[in-house]
Every structure is written in C-alpha cells, then in structure tokens.
Structure 1
C-alpha cells in the first residue's frame, strides 16, 4: 500500500504517517512477519531469517531463458527501453514471446510511446519487479563494480562472463 493510499483513509500528515509506519515496522521487526517498504509501497512479508522454513510451500522458481534474463536486465538498467534499444544492446532480435513472459510475470509493463519516428513502445519495470527482487528502487540494482566482483562480468571487456549457463533460475515470491 502506498503512503498516498493510506493518507486517503487516515487523516494525518504524511510525516506523521511515515513515522507511524516506521514505529510499526520496528514493532514487527523481531516477529515472524515484518513490515517493509519496497518500491514506495508498504507491505508485510516473512522475516528474512524465517523464509527458509516456507521454502517447501513456495511455488517453483521461474525458469527464464537467457534471452528473457538479458531482456529483463536491460529494461531494469535502461528503462524506459524500446524493443530496438533492447535489440541493439543484445545484438539479436527480441522475440515477442520473451517480452510476453516478462509481462505475464508482472515484472515489466509497456509504457508510453517514444516521441521518435514510428513512435515505438517503451517498456519499464513494475512495482512487482521491485518487490520480487527485494529492491526499494531501481537505483538499488548492483553497479558494474559489484557485478565484476561477483564474477558476472568479464573484467576486461565488461561483457558477461564466459561459462554462463543458457538459462537462469529467477527466484521470486510471486
């Protein structure tokens, strides 16, 4: 729930609501369910230290193709991005099915149209993307130095490391 949605139902100043939510989050912190802010929305979720206990009841992780993972990463880092921009960065055509899978997952959404010839459709990430990947904002995505340190980028060229698998397990809570 956004702060604006809460403000419509609770007659208080935004600063007071934010303070009340922070107090409530602190109250829930030692419990099994915690109150967190993700992507400008407040939500309850399982405490991080107890998530492993719920693992058997979770849905199976989504198996995304390498193309879908690359497309999602490009949109996350470069949003809003058009299909042509995605194809230019990847170096290959993006199939409509790849975008459909990401839209169905709720991680991307078609936005407006770019004011350029052909008026191409722009894609951007959603609030569900932020929540599912544990981000407050797209600025929380790891930078190039972090990706290199994790061995995900080739140190010389800044390109994906060799030996990467063809597909990626993407774990989400959705």
Structure 2
C-alpha cells in the first residue's frame, strides 16, 4: 500500500481541504496509517509539487491542491464570471473582527466611526467568514462575532497568527518621501504582504458605508 500515492489522489479529488484525521479515515480500519506517517506522506507530496503551477497548500481546515498565485490570473481566463469585488467597508469590518475578536457590531462601529451596514454583516455571515460565538452580557445582549476556518481557508492562512501585524500594516501605509516613487519590487512586496485582507474579490453591497 503506497500511502503517499493514496494521499495525493484523495487530496487531488477532494473539493475541500482535508485534515490528517480525515485522510486517516479514508483507509480501512485495520490498515490506517498513523498520523506521523500521513504527515510524512503529505510533506513528500508538497515537495513533489514544489515550483510547479499547482501546489499542495496547508490551510486552517487541512490540505488542498490549488493553482499557485502566479498562475491564478491565467486560470481565471477560463471562467466567464469575474471574481466578486468586496467594498472597502466590508473588508475593514472583516479586518476588525479578525484582529479584535470576539467583537460586537457596536464595537466595530466605534472603531470605524460609522454605522456598519446590515448588508455587510449578512454578507460575511453568508460567506461563512464570521460567526456568532456568544452574546455579550450587557443590556440587549449583542452578538459577539469571530472569524471562522472558512475565512482562514479563503485567505490561505493556517491560523490568525499569520495575519500581518498592525505595525506591518502601518509601515506599508507610510507616505513616501518627497519625489520618491515606489519600485516594482516595492509594489509586488506590498501586494504580497497585504493580500490576506486586501483581496480584490467581491460583492458591492448596497448602502455600505
């Protein structure tokens, strides 16, 4: 039984990320490899796809095959439908939840300084990027929102620890010195560093503020 080939085939055929436990459950009970053996198999498959247009990527929910970021613009030409484009207000709301969770809608509004549209919260819930984790014990018991594994998966993150720090974001937003123009390398690095929460995907929700 070639564990590596089985793991590769199963992950290739799956339409969602699979964890090591889920991979283990694929095997008959008496032939199930231990988690360590599966980790080795996954690592070997990852190495096989190194520097290829398709990669095996670790995300919060497990492992999945996907087109590399470099090839994504070319593959997108296969599809007539354009990627959704999210409003700045929606991305700001999502960022606040990711960094300050758990957080109430009122607390988000205090940070942003404007009312948060119901459409924004509904869109984030429908995308399953956020969820209600509890209710704050104050008058009205407002919902407390937190990010989900689907949020991490979408932005190719394995944990919240991979988000850029607030200091890194501030550094990226510093104004250039007089007469200084960003180089191509600067622009590319900024795109890489800010990608997790500045995807150019989306839905322009009505009445976003």
Length-normalised TM-score, structure 1: 0.77
Contact 1:36–1:43, Cα closer than 8 Å, also in 2: yes
Secondary structure of 1:139's partner?
helix
For residues 74 and 124 of structure 2, what CA distance do their matches in structure 1 show?
A: 28
The answer to whether residue 66 in structure 2 is matched with residue 50 in structure 1 is: no
The answer to whether residue 37 in structure 2 is matched with residue 16 in structure 1 is: yes
For residues 85 and 108 of structure 1, what CA distance do their matches in structure 2 show?
A: 15
Partner of 2:159: 137
For residues 97 and 34 of structure 1, what CA distance do their matches in structure 2 show?
A: 35
Partner of 2:102: 80
Q: 1:48 to 1:94 in 2, by over 3 A?
A: closer
> Comparing both structures, which one devotes a greater share of its residues to strand?
1
- Following TM superposition, the consecutive aligned residue runs of length 4 or more in structure 1 with deviations greater than 6 angstroms are none
Partner of 1:171: 200
Alpha-carbon shift at residue 112 of structure 1 (Å): 3.0
Q: Deviations over 1:32-57 (max 9, x none)?
A: 32111011411010123322321323
1:145-160, aligned counterparts within 5 Å? 145-151=167-173
How many residue pairs match? The answer is 159
Secondary structure of 2:96's partner?
helix
Secondary structure of 2:173's partner?
coil
- Aligned-residue CA RMSD in angstroms? 2.6
2:59 to 20, 25, 38: 38
Question: For the pair shown, which has the larger CA radius of gyration, 1 or 2?
Answer: 2
The answer to whether residue 90 in structure 2 is matched with residue 68 in structure 1 is: yes
> Comparing both structures, which one devotes a greater share of its residues to helix?
2
Partner of 2:132: 110
